[in-house]
Chains A and B, each alone.
Chain A
Amino acid sequence: MAAVADLGHGVGLRREHFEHVLEGRAGVDWFEVISENFMVRGGRPLFVLDRVRRDFPVVLHGVSLSIGSTDPLPESYLAELAHLIDRTEPAWVSDHLCWTGVGGHNAHDLLPLPYTEEALRHVAQRVEQVQERLGRRIALENVSSYLEFQGSTLHEWDFLAELAARADCGILLDVNNVYVNARNHGFDPHAYLEAIPIERVWQVHLAGHSDRGTHLLDTHCSKVCDAVWELYRVACRRFGAVSSLVEWDDQVPDWEILAAESASARRIRGEVLGAARVAAAGGAG
């Protein structure tokens, strides 16, 4: 499977920062945009997207593909996505390993799947159909979850790795979500990272979460916590130079704070990969 480009370190483009970014003061390498926010006919959102795309690599990140739903694949949605892909020419396209609704209804949430052979077959087949429809491979992101199904027979990480192999798709590895799920479900996050095939990881997500006492909630409303940065360090050692992206969706801060988070990702990856290069050079000598 051909590797995708390392875009460096980016952030999610949010409307609170439109002005700042258009003024050319971004200071990040690339942007990820929520596909559905730009599936509109005109106005400021598309103007901003076109301007940003002129100056930066852009990745389309969807929230409504509902790849795990037992409803038919949403053809009109795929047509709109294909149109947006043509317009934007993104570096790649991603969505989530989840379902968002059933019976023609949409919860607008990333709902968990049981990790079973039945679900694996179902999702793999649908990923293949989507990739055929879009004429390109996609990446799927592991989601945060707050429950486990009794029927699950596979570990989440095995399900994700096997899905990527069967459907020949990429993985958007959300390190925060790995951490949240590890805490919520009591597994070792390092075992998760170890199980993910290196060549499948196209991108890494980083974000903040909230501690609700009984569980961690993936709120994207705060800085990346130290434990997630540590896990990112581990991910850098394992996966190497993979594009990173900081998400911040609620209580969106000033640009400087968000950019500083992206700079932290850059610094950490630099430290890890720099150290690896030094070690390799030392070993060769």
Chain B
Amino acid sequence: MTSPPGLRASQALFWRLLTAPEGVARGREALQREGLLEDGALDFFVRASSRMSPVERLDVYADMYFYRLRDCLAEDYPNLAAWIGPARFHNLVTDYLLAHPSQHPSLRELGRALPGFLEAHPLPAPFARAPGLARLEWARFDVFDEADALPFTREALLEQAASPERCRLRLVPALRLLELAPGVLSLWRSLEDDEVAAPEPAAAERGQGVCVWRREFAVFHRSLASDEERCLRALQAGPLSLARLGESVLGSQAAESQPAAASARFAELLERWTAAGLLCLA
């Protein structure tokens, strides 16, 4: 390059240097090795100032690129960042941004792929619960500004109880169902309370279904019993009538042998769901 590049080439070059993980000088070297940049070419691209070389001026942008996105991810994943520590989080973000550079106009979407990235690129053994913790934090973040819906209330339930076939229900949009590894919820709780991270549970302990949801402007999560998880997953697949929803509880093996207990259980679940605002009319 002995003359300034056109706009398209200029932006492509700027982008490569901006996103070079080890800074502009190393990024320039990489471009030179690839034969994409000649020696001294940056001098034809960016003017030096009285105090800064072209590389230093470009580094202002490269630093801002990384630190802005790292800070954004730390806001989305505060407990993960606190748990694994600043150095490990820094390296995680570096690797993540190389694999998943932002493709969305909103920073809100930047961290969406991080839980999956952690699954595929595990941290060292003491942090085996990191993917689960990340999935929980993202779900809580994700429902915060998810679509609103008028919750199906206990009063509405009493009104509709007489015609359970016609009353069709679905989950509110601001709800996520997760399957989390053992010990993730206790880890989140201890980190939230600023305590020492809860210890890893015994290997024999099973994973658990977890519901994350927003009611009005507050976000909640809790673990689910297996029958409750089964019902909510059925609702997640699509709207169900109150009658069909009941069948997913009452139709179980236990219901056949203990119908009264199963009915009571269904009533208990409906009470819990309406109180928490998990359902809305389809």
Q: Please report A residues at the B interface, Cβ cutoff 8 Å.
A: 36-37, 39-47, 64, 66, 69-70, 74, 77, 99-109, 111, 113-114, 116, 118-119, 122, 146-151, 184-186, 213-215, 217
Contacts and interface: CB of A to CB of B under 8 A. Distances in A.
B64 interface: yes
A102 to B, nearest CB: 4
Interface string B45-79: 11101111010111011001100110010000000
Interface of B: 3-8, 10-12, 14-15, 18-19, 43-47, 49-52, 54, 56-58, 60-61, 64-65, 68-69, 72, 101-108, 110, 143-148, 173-174, 214, 217
A215 B49 contact: yes
Contacts of B72: 108
A250 to B, nearest CB: 9
B198 to A, nearest CB: 29
A45 B102 contact: no
10 contacts: A42-B146, A46-B148, A99-B11, A105-B101, A107-B19, A108-B68, A109-B64, A113-B7, A214-B56, A215-B60
Contacts of A146: 57, 60-61
Contacts of B217: 43-44, 47
| Residue in A36, A44, A107, A217 with the greatest tally of chain B CB atoms within 10 Å | A107
A155 B231 CA distance: 65
Contacts of B147: 41-42
Contacts of B144: 43-44
A186 to B, nearest CB: 7
Nearest to B51: A214
Given A116-B7, A118-B6, A122-B7, A36 B106 contact: yes
A228 to B, nearest CB: 20
| Residue in A66, A100, A106 with the greatest tally of chain B CB atoms within 10 Å | A106
Nearest to A45: B145
A149 B46 contact: yes
Contacts of B19: 105, 107
A108 B102 CA distance: 8
A148 B47 contact: yes
Given A102-B15, A215-B51, A217-B60, A43 B105 contact: no
Contacts of A41: 145-148, 173
Contact of A147 (B4, B51, B57, B146): B57
Given A70-B8, A108-B69, A43 B145 contact: yes
Contacts of A43: 143-146, 148, 174, 214, 217
Contacts of B57: 146-147, 215
A45 B106 CA distance: 14
Contacts of B10: 114, 149, 151
B8 A44 contact: no
Contacts of A114: 4, 7, 10
Contacts of B44: 150
Nearest to B9: A70
Contacts of B106: 36-37, 39, 64
Contacts of A36: 105-108
Given A105-B102, A186-B50, A151 B4 contact: yes
B97 to A, nearest CB: 10
A41 B143 CA distance: 10
Contacts of B4: 114, 149-151
Contacts of B49: 147-148, 184-186, 214-215
Contacts of B15: 101-103, 105, 107
| Residue in A42, A69, A104, A118 with the greatest tally of chain B CB atoms within 10 Å | A42
Contacts of B214: 43
B71 to A, nearest CB: 9
Contact of A44 (B14, B101, B145): B145
B145 A46 contact: yes
